[in-house]
Amino acid sequence: MAFIKKNDSGAELKLIIVNSKLTENQKDLWHKFIDTTIESDTITILKTIQEDNENLKFLTTNLEEKFKAIQSKNVDTWKGIVKKEKDYIESK
């Protein structure tokens, strides 16, 4: 039986989220996301937010939009979100 390492970066990311100016709904969404994310992905997200606080706003909007796209099962919406991600990354 394998043991899963505690997600230390997740705890650090949650602290940033709690102390942010995000709404309570946005914070809840982040906590749910962090709880299901593997350590390597959490580290990447944490570094991205630490590099530029504006990234937290972008990633929050992106996370909300992805959840809505999944719920609506709208492929075109999903493609639009991915395009916005690509454009955002290329602008950095």
Quickly state the pLDDT bin for 89 (edges 50, 70, 90): confident
What is the tens place of the pLDDT at every residue in 20-74?
999 999 999 999 999 999 999 999 999 999 999 899 999 999 999 999 998 999 8
pLDDT at res. 91: 86
Q: What is the pTM of this model?
A: 0.82
Cβ–Cβ contacts within 10 Å for residue 62, how many? 16
**Contact between 33 and 25 (Cβ < 8 Å):** no
